[in-house]
Amino acid sequence: MTTIIAFILVFGLIVFFHELGHFLLAKRSGIMVRDFSIGFGPKIFAYKKKETQYTIRLLPIGGYVRMAGEDGEELDLKPGYRVGLELSNDETVTKIIVNGKDQYVDAQPFEVAKADLEKELYIEGFEDFDESKKVRYPVSRDAVVIDGKIETQIVPYDKTFGAKSLGKRAATIFAGPFFNFVLAVIIFTVLAFVQGGVASQENTLGNVVKDSPAATAGLKQGDKVLSISGKKTESWTDIVTEVSKNPGENG
């Protein structure tokens, strides 16, 4: 059981650092990240902040970062759609209600004629479904499309993965394995401090085991071995070499 728990913790840490690399570089490159998820299967924990949902799932066998534009997502409002619009004080669209309009009593009834939610960011059509009242509204870069209980933030084209330069896309992809390398460096550094650093190559004795031949000969921790059988020893390697040439013999 202990082995399984240790495996889950270690594997989870590796996955977390890998996905964190993708996430941080995507954010730095100006790419919208829709999901940062550790694990697969049913959700255990979910928290949404701004445009990103952070999730921990039941099965700790992987994870993913879902970047806008990576999976070909597209919010398409076709001509003839009847929606509800919520506007800011400067008459910019902040919400487009596709389904569930009855829950938004202040929404403006609107029939879509044309819309661009990626580049030009506008919606054009008829207020109150009346073709004599054709208007065009700008759409906020942070506007959301509401379909029942599902809210999806629109993604301006410049915030998608595909809109970025080759260098930024490559850096975002490479960041995952690079962060795993950084994690390995951190772990080995911590282990080195905990275990007292790297082994010394000096010709100085460390702990002397009780009742061992060295202890019987009167050697103590910190003693320097200057020579063995008349041969000068300047490093621990020299000591090991000379001792191995004469196994079981008294010096």
Q: What are the mean pLDDT values of the chain's consecutive 10-residue runs (251 residues total)?
A: 80 90 95 92 89 89 88 78 94 93 89 93 92 91 91 91 94 94 89 66 71 72 73 73 67 53
Residue 234, pLDDT score = 72
Catalytic choice (19, 111, 118, 242): 19
The pTM assigned to this predicted structure is: 0.69
Confirm if 104 and 97 have CB atoms less than 8 A apart.
yes
CA-to-CA distance for 180 and 82, rounded, in angstroms? 49
Residue 164, pLDDT score = 94
Residue 89, pLDDT score = 93
Helix (H) or strand (E) holding 14: helix 2-28
CA-to-CA distance for 33 and 157, rounded, in angstroms? 13
CA-to-CA distance for 104 and 238, rounded, in angstroms? 84
Residue 8, pLDDT score = 81
Question: What are the CB-based long-range contacts (under 8 Å, 24+) for 194-197?
Answer: none
118 labelled catalytic: no
Residue 10, pLDDT score = 83
C-alpha to C-alpha distances, 127 to 94, 109, 136, nearest whole angstrom: 16, 6, 10
